[in-house]
Structure 1
Amino acid sequence: MNEVALQLVDAPLEETVVRIALAGALGMFLGLEREWSQKSAGIRTFSLISLLAAVFTILVLETDIGEGLLLLGGLLVIVQGVLLAVKGLIDDQETGLSLTTSVSMLVAYGVGALVAAEFIIEGVTVAVLSSLLLVLKRELHEFAWGLSREEMRSTTEFAILAFVVYPLLPAEYPLDLGATTVDLEPQVIWLMVVAVAGIGIVNYAIVSTYGGRGIAITGFFGGLASSTAVVGTMLDHVRQRPDAASYAVAAILLANAAMAARNLAIAVGFTIGGGRGLLVEAVIPLGAVILVAFAIAAVTADWSESGPMELESPFSMKNALAFGAVFLVVLVFGSLSEQWLGTLGFYATAVASGFVSSAGATTSAVVLYRGGQLAPAEATIGILLATVSSIVVKAMLAATSTNRGFRKQVAAYSVLLLVGGAVASVLVVV
């Protein structure tokens, strides 16, 4: 008996018996919440449904008699679900609860089929997400019922931006400008629009709870993901609340600090144990940018304010699209600059890459340094150019704001960041 158990544990996922066992286990997992909620179908029913789907799917893959059985099994699950829903109506149960159990049974059938067809990760993902939806029933209902009309509209617009428009765009598109051609990446550009909207939604939730201090959280952690997208969110924030411009300026500074910290982590972390020594030349200039950004952010806004701040909506579709248009112009300009300054090679590429993601340029510099193609000073210059490019492009995007004070503060403090990094670089050289 022990030998059989050991053989089952050691068997690869491609083994039919293992896939059948996994399908049954996932069915039990899905039925656990239904059993706990004392529904008409529980652990045993869900496990048997998944096992049935697994058996029929294996017959489809390995014999010629399984296709009809697989279809028949699916129809039987649907019929059973309908009968349970009708029984729930007769017993005066909530319609939604009966329908949820019926649909969950069909999901269990699909999970069994996925696992048996060797789509292991997909099957497990569906099972986990489905179980999570069942467990978080109350929280999801409270969230949906608590949304205002404007919040619901923003959520729908974000879903369209992220899940409808983005997949339809081409990955690459050559833009013919007559004498030259610029290779654009529409999906990358649109991803920036989605990032602006996504950070805006997170910012809305955090600021509504923590007030001015919440903007700092948005700025820093948003900067780790996309410091440029933070600017788009703050442009919308300033438009809705002009009196909170100082918080938006601080958020952009903290986004720059997060961007520099991320680049520093890449420059140092990926050169540990590389055989060429740590890229310590980047520590002082990037560290100076981080410290100056935090210092200015600490004194530019009253972080003692913690009460909620009213915002009109999570994000503005018009603002997100306008930001995407400006970002497109900057990207075209950066690509043209790279072509015109081709003799500068790596440095021109670092500057152009910084418009989109300084992390990408930093990673490229580290890889080339580890491979021996770049000296420490050259790799450091490339990283700093990408960092400078990221700071400059944020100031350029902030300049599109109609709030004059906001524009001037972002420009002035961006210059201070650049000066602080430049002075630190000079000290390193001397």
Structure 2
Amino acid sequence: MDELELFQRLGLAIAIGAAVGVERHWRARDVGEGQRTAGIRTFTLIGMLGGITGLLERYLAQGTGSSGILLATFFLALAAVVAAFEYREAVDEESYSATSVVVAMVTFSLGALAVLGDMTIASAGGVIALGILASREFLHTLMKKLQWKELQSAIILLAMTFVLLPIVPADPIGPFGGVSPRKILLLAIMLAGISYCGYIAAKLVGSSKGDVLAGAIGGIVSSTAVAISFAQRSAESGPPRSLAAGVITATAISLVRTGFLVIALAAALVPYLLPPFFAGAAVSLGYAYFLARRGEPRETSHAMNNPFELLSVAKMALLLVFVAFLARAASDYFGQRGLLIASALTGLADVDAVAVTVADMLGSLALPTAALAIGVAVLVNTFAKAVYATAFGVRAFSLHVWIASMLATAAAVATATAGLLI
């Protein structure tokens, strides 16, 4: 390691300490000089101390082969000193908080990591620590509003994601490419996550804004999952207009996402697909704005019984996997001649798979045929969401989804036709 890199690493350690120090000092900015345990200067020096200790540890390891003793000694000494000062401050102010002690330990550790380990991880750790500190009010407010059923649902979702998902087999089972158990669980997690985000967003910022925000986020992942999840919420007496606005927003985001996917993977199809996709997205966003702005016909005090129903989520995940399985079976059975059939069947659950598949086949497909295959998948997916809205949601909810789907389709078809005439 040359001297320039050592300077960069030490500079990163100091920068991490300074960033944390700014937040800590800002919170105690009204306190008089000498009345706070640690501010911007102290935390900057703590980061620097971690970096210098890391440098000393590196040199000692090269000379004697011992490692870790000096680092551990300085770490424990720092923790003891900061804890002593924090204790005196807590006694004077009659407050109880170990945050400053833990922050000092984290800052020292990240400073040492910047010198001894991966600079990217150290930088990310500093940003995450700063984000946690800066979100104090938000987290405290959230904890006041959080109920046990919501915390329980979050624990279940985390367990499904980080405990169950890694151990579930990923290899497909069955013919035509089979069905992956991990994919089923992943879809269930996605559906539950979208439902949970929608629940929390609606609770924090209100139904209309929360549902639109959750729909926009969910549309990046799967607008089909949003449609099914929100339809189930509407059946539980959720606000139909705001939920419909969320689904329509998800559809618009999905169209934009597919457009960018075409730009990245199949640039030759841009003249065929981008104008109609963006026209449909614009109309969808306009209708969603109309619904969200108009609001519900009466105030509602409705709250969902649960952020998500695990059994319902599992059923919907199995449905989507079954549809994808049918699409693969049709593709294998009919071959390239059945591309449009396979695209239509795949569109019942997903559009991205069709876009990726068609992009890989561009060398052997005529551009109009390739564009038509993706267009068919998008069209089927748009109306499939309306069908799901009708099957699982209430009439007031599904009606708006149908209207938005027809308007968006009309705008896309008109734009595509105008492009062909030109």
Q: TM-score, normalised by structure 2?
A: 0.76
Deviation at 1:141, TM superposition (A): 1.7
- Which of 395, 398, 421 is 1:405 aligned to? 395
**Counterpart of 2:135?**
136
Deviation at 1:394, TM superposition (A): 2.9
- Which of 167, 170, 195 is 1:200 aligned to? 195
Deviations 1:63-121 (A, max 9, x none): 5123332333333344445544554555464222xx11121122112202321134111
Q: Is the CA contact (8 Å cut-off) linking 1:238 and 1:245 kept in structure 2? A: yes
What secondary structure does 1:176 align onto?
coil
- Correspondence 1:51-200 to 2 at 5 A: 51-59=51-59, 62-63=62-63, 64-84=65-85, 86-88=87-89, 90-91=91-92, 93-96=94-97, 99-170=98-169, 172-176=170-174, 181-184=177-180, 186=182, 188-200=183-195
Consecutive unaligned residues in structure 1, runs of 5 or more: 1-10
**Distance in 2 separating the partners of 1:407 and 1:140:** 33
Q: Would the alpha carbon gap of residues 16 and 411 (structure 1) be closer, same or farther in structure 2, given more than 3 Å must change?
A: closer
**Counterpart of 1:338?**
331
**Counterpart of 1:320?**
313
Q: Is the CA contact (8 Å cut-off) linking 1:27 and 1:112 kept in structure 2? A: yes
**Counterpart of 1:50?**
50
**Distance in 1 separating the partners of 2:281 and 2:17:** 50
Instruction: Please say which of residues 161-170 and 136-145 is displaced more in the overlay.
Output: 161-170
**Counterpart of 1:228?**
224
Q: Is the CA contact (8 Å cut-off) linking 2:386 and 2:401 kept in structure 1? A: yes
- The root-mean-square deviation of aligned C-alpha atoms, in Å, is 4.1
**Counterpart of 1:358?**
351
Q: Would the alpha carbon gap of residues 109 and 314 (structure 1) be closer, same or farther in structure 2, given more than 3 Å must change?
A: farther
What secondary structure does 1:241 align onto?
coil
**Distance in 1 separating the partners of 2:167 and 2:60:** 33
**Counterpart of 2:31?**
none
**Distance in 2 separating the partners of 1:201 and 1:108:** 33
- Which of 306, 311, 326 is 2:303 aligned to? 311
- Which of 253, 256, 260 is 1:261 aligned to? 256
Q: Would the alpha carbon gap of residues 265 and 19 (structure 1) be closer, same or farther in structure 2, given more than 3 Å must change?
A: closer
Deviations 1:201-238 (A, max 9, x none): 44335544444465445435532442122123313321
Instruction: Please say which of residues 300-309 and 149-158 is displaced more in the overlay.
Output: 300-309
What secondary structure does 1:41 align onto?
coil
**Distance in 1 separating the partners of 2:405 and 2:79:** 65
Deviation at 1:358, TM superposition (A): 1.8
**Counterpart of 1:219?**
215
- Which of 317, 326, 329 is 2:322 aligned to? 329
Deviation at 1:291, TM superposition (A): 6.5
**Distance in 1 separating the partners of 2:62 and 2:348:** 53
Q: Is the CA contact (8 Å cut-off) linking 2:233 and 2:304 kept in structure 1? A: no
Q: Is the CA contact (8 Å cut-off) linking 2:226 and 2:247 kept in structure 1? A: yes
**Distance in 2 separating the partners of 1:320 and 1:118:** 42
Aligned length: 406
Q: Would the alpha carbon gap of residues 261 and 73 (structure 1) be closer, same or farther in structure 2, given more than 3 Å must change?
A: same
Deviation at 1:134, TM superposition (A): 2.2
1:382 is aligned with what amino acid? A
Q: Is the CA contact (8 Å cut-off) linking 1:353 and 1:386 kept in structure 2? A: yes
Q: TM-score, normalised by structure 1?
A: 0.75
Q: Would the alpha carbon gap of residues 361 and 120 (structure 1) be closer, same or farther in structure 2, given more than 3 Å must change?
A: farther
What secondary structure does 1:66 align onto?
coil
Q: Would the alpha carbon gap of residues 360 and 12 (structure 1) be closer, same or farther in structure 2, given more than 3 Å must change?
A: farther
